[in-house]
Amino acid sequence: MFSIIAIYNIRLEVNDLLISEELLAKRPWLRYYDPVVLPSINYPNFPATEILRNTANVEGDKAATWFYGTEITFWDLHITVIRLANKLIELGVKKGDRVGIYLPNSPQFVIAYWALLTVGAIVVNLNPMYTKDELQFCVENTGITGLFAFDMVLPNVKAVCEIVSIPLVVITRITDFVDAAPTSTREELGLPDGWHHFSELLEQSTNTVPPRVPIVPTDPAIIQFTGGTTGVPKGAVLTHRNVVAASYMVEMWGSGVIARIPTSRRFVLCTLPYFHVYGEVVAMCYSVQSASTQVILPRFDVEEVLNTIAAFPEFSFWPCVPTMLQAVLNHPRVEELNLAKRFALINNGAAPCPLQLIQKANDLNIFLSEGWGMSETTSLGITQPIQGVKKPLSIGIPYPDTDVKIIDINTGEPVKQGETGEIWIKSPLVMSHYWNNPEETANQLKDGWLRTGDLAYMDEDYYIFIVDRSKDLIIAGGYNIYPREIDEVLFKHPKVKDAITIGIPDEYRGETVKSFVQPVADVEVTAEELIAYCREHLAAYKVPRSIEFRSELPRSNVGKALRRKLRDEEIAKMKREKEANA
């Protein structure tokens, strides 16, 4: 029997053989891959649902989900998915139908997701925090004919159903899948005639024969809305091949650490929202692919998270966003819990991790990695090597089978190494199109290349550093100013918890710089103090002209700064002031 080291050595030799001079010329970053990561993956030519079936076949007795002490094994999950899929077909759900999941993290989400993919339906991810109007937009935009939801959002669902016909509505209570809690009933929830109760629906289906729905890798699997409160949402269409490729990539990338852990000890802390493809892929799908138990929490509450961490001896993986990591690392219990020993790997994504937070994780001996992705790239794309060199504030190097080039936004030509341009990416991760939006699809996809809108540069080792979003670029007095650079300076100030910088219209300079700051709790700080601090670290034209303090700053559910929301507020305020003075 081969030892782990022997297997690693074999993989390293295979890597050396696979990375030809021609391939290195095309993808020079391959030389920085961890030994266990192949430059290319032979992705299985099957639908995403086979990921669950394969794991259930070999790890059937292993817990697939843990939810407030209640476990479902991989085999039981697999069979439950088949039963629900057969019931959905009986109720008229067909291949290609769009069905929304309007649920927080829960076993019900997991079951509904895999069941819908099994029948060939397209999962429409819906944030449970959506208002009635936001829900209605998504329903009408995608032509949703089915909806899984829970009792807490019933008012929104009922209001939308009065305007738009949704033939299939399935409702649950999140605690229905907790053994220690009573199961709700349709009468208790007050469901209208024709609506279905999730648990009762499952009880009605005993058919465990897998449906024979022909699904090919290019079939749509997910519609992920991107934009939200930052503009008119666009539905990125992700295929079964995208989901399979992402699941295999994220497993391989972390295998240098996690492959050493027996499957019996693999647990993933799932705090990322499953209603966003980031959590769906790197927490839910990855857990199934790697035979890890999903320790599911329906929301991020730092005390609940810490209590959950304390309840388990170890976790193999925790994918998170900076706000989650910051809340945990700044908590008084962090040293008592010894996170470095409990977690084999923590990965940060969705938003840049401030340098102070990276240093704090390093000081605590935490194995931290960072990455970059978009809804349009199945949440993956570029990431730091797990075992190799990690450069602070870099998003790392491209995943296997992924090409990246940095393009001048004015000329459309590649920039020189070290110069700033827009990231263009071509990969098995890239979406097929935007739903019902051919114009925006044509704008963003060029011969298979996705224009990301992110401005970045490659250093001498081909590590990529994000500078800013092209749409967030501030042009003041003829100077190009990247707001993220100002945010990073403010983050370093000991009295600043969060910061978001924007450009606001200015008749003389075109735009002027304004920063919004969330101070550290119970600490006094003035705008003058922070502006003086910025002057020490930034060129004069980059220094904020004004700073506004807020108790909380607007970020998306995966931690991205909602700069446009702040800008729109400022423009509206300026308009009101102008009208008042007229």
pLDDT bracket for residue 4 (50, 70, 90)? very low
Q: Is the pLDDT of residue 8 over 50?
A: no
What φ, ψ does residue 77 adopt, rounded to 5°?
-65, -45
Q: Is the pLDDT of residue 478 over 60?
A: no
- Give the residue from 74, 57, 56 showing the smallest Cα distance to 65: 74
CB 361 within 8 A of CB 325: yes
Collapsing DSSP to helix, strand or coil, 561 comes out as strand
CB 170 within 8 A of CB 201: yes
pLDDT bracket for residue 5 (50, 70, 90)? very low
Q: How many residues does the chain have?
A: 582
The whole-number average pLDDT for the span 101-122 is 98
Q: Is the pLDDT of residue 196 over 70?
A: yes
CB 269 within 8 A of CB 65: no
Q: Is the pLDDT of residue 358 over 80?
A: yes
Which architecture characterizes domain 72-230 according to CATH? 3-Layer(aba) Sandwich (3.40)
**CA distance linking residue 402 with residue 384, whole number of Å:** 14
The tens digit of pLDDT for each residue in 330-354 reads: 999 998 999 999 999 999 987 777 7
HEC assignment per residue over 42-64 = CCCCCCCHHHHHHHHHHCCCCEE
Domain ranges of the chain: 72-230, 482-581
The tens digit of pLDDT for each residue in 275-334 reads: 999 999 999 999 999 999 999 999 999 999 999 999 999 999 999 988 889 889 999 999
Q: pTM of this prediction?
A: 0.83
Output the CA torsion sign for 16, 18, 19, 20: positive
The whole-number average pLDDT for the span 120-133 is 92
Sole residue written with tokens 């989901």: 243
Q: Is the pLDDT of residue 468 over 80?
A: no
Output the CA torsion sign for 546, 551, 554, 557: positive
pLDDT bracket for residue 480 (50, 70, 90)? low
User: Helices 49-58 and 107-118: crossing angle, nearest 10°?
Assistant: 110
Collapsing DSSP to helix, strand or coil, 429 comes out as coil
**CATH class held by domain 482-581:** alpha beta
Tokens standing for residue 145: 């004919």
Distances (CA, A) of 107 to 8, 172, 233, 288: 36, 11, 27, 13
Share of the chain above pLDDT 90, in %: 74
CB 460 within 8 A of CB 470: no
Highest mean pLDDT among 140-149, 347-356, 383-392, 486-495: 140-149
Q: Is the pLDDT of residue 267 over 70?
A: yes
The tens digit of pLDDT for each residue in 502-520 reads: 988 876 677 889 999 999 9
Determine the pLDDT at residue 372: 92
CB 461 within 8 A of CB 32: yes
Mean pLDDT of the chain: 91
The tens digit of pLDDT for each residue in 371-428 reads: 999 999 999 999 999 999 999 889 999 999 999 999 998 899 999 999 999 999 999 9
CB 108 within 8 A of CB 152: no
Could you check whether 72-230 and 482-581 share the same CATH topology?
no
Determine the pLDDT at residue 190: 94
Determine the pLDDT at residue 14: 45
Determine the pLDDT at residue 7: 39
pLDDT bracket for residue 175 (50, 70, 90)? very high
Q: Is the pLDDT of residue 126 over 80?
A: yes
Collapsing DSSP to helix, strand or coil, 472 comes out as helix
Share of the chain above pLDDT 70, in %: 94
Q: Higher-confidence residue: 199 or 322? A: 199
DSSP of 494-544, one letter per residue? TTEEEEEEEEEEETTTEEEEEEEEEEPTT----HHHHHHHHHHHS-GGGS-
Strands 397-398 and 381-383: antiparallel
**CA distance linking residue 485 with residue 533, whole number of Å:** 14
Count H helices and E strands in the chain, helices first.
22, 27
Determine the pLDDT at residue 71: 98
What φ, ψ does residue 159 adopt, rounded to 5°?
-65, -40
